[in-house]
Structure 1
């Protein structure tokens, strides 16, 4: 893969930004190597030198999109609500708003599976999984963490796709609200299993221990006894080490 120049005015960055502008204004068909080179004030061979081919250029465009989105997303992290459910709503809205505002770039980002976008994509997933983990720790999740993350991603992408596939005169913003709340209902409980005023492993252990009788058919007697012992230690103790 060609080396990457990360300076602000590098030829590589100018090419990527020109490609993004053409993509946003004219769709994928507008992103020809000749058109991008002209928009960037360069000759077509420069694109092949920096990206190998058009696919390589689109990979760089997707990475650029992820990087820009993450920059905006991180800037908003300190502004998100302390309530993990509200934080989830806020994060979902950010993704959908980005997709609604950047239709073609969002589509390229979702199609890209190359290693070129892995770092930025993984960083986005880490933020998502962080939100899911906070929901789980507070006792809000009604499904497995991995499934919750998949539901959140799928509903966000589906909302954007449905919005853009609907004729403009028939688009109703309420659709996005309804889909978001359907996602919230699918992954979270009406009330947390861990009291809001408590945090840490002790209240979580107490909540799980209380639910153990309902899971008697899942665990063997020995497994349930051992798990009960572990949970009892955690529930009775906020961190005192055991010999």
Structure 2
């Protein structure tokens, strides 16, 4: 999940690459002030999150998620698309568009022990990363087929071409995608295309050129997808004064 940040909250959110391949760890301090919290946008990822006294999982989103806006410190580890289900021991589609307490996925005793460990740490970010690293070691290496699927769809290839490239039929690709990503490959492709477009637009590319470079039919198609997936018009999402 990707959180939008505005010019006033650059100091509230920070992230760094994780020692786990493809993951990042992040922290955000919410003040509860109006405008402090921005939508969390679909990105194909899943997060393991801590806030004092709680560990919970954010599943893969198909639409923007609005946090409750309450004050507090949040620490998370964001997993590359397709990598979290093996680590968490739950299919991604069971967590789609949901935030679930860790105690509902693992045993209550496990969750209490890990919450206590992160609560007591002087660096909760490092402690949460260590929790994830322990689980990843038990889960084994990530499925390379899933990484190839993400790379292919992110490059703009069709679902049919992607299935052929990884050596499975479309039905099997759909089934494996539901388990790994939380939704089928067409939805994953749409989410990845959205993220590609937002990155290009944030870099200053005009909207029409952004649409063409990201694989949209035209600027109107880009605007429709952004509104459907984020709930906001493109200009409002990125700020005023853009072409």
Structure number with the higher helix fraction is: 1
TM-score, normalised to structure 2, is: 0.28
Greater share of strand residues, 1 or 2?
2
After TM superposition, the score normalised by the length of structure 1 is 0.28
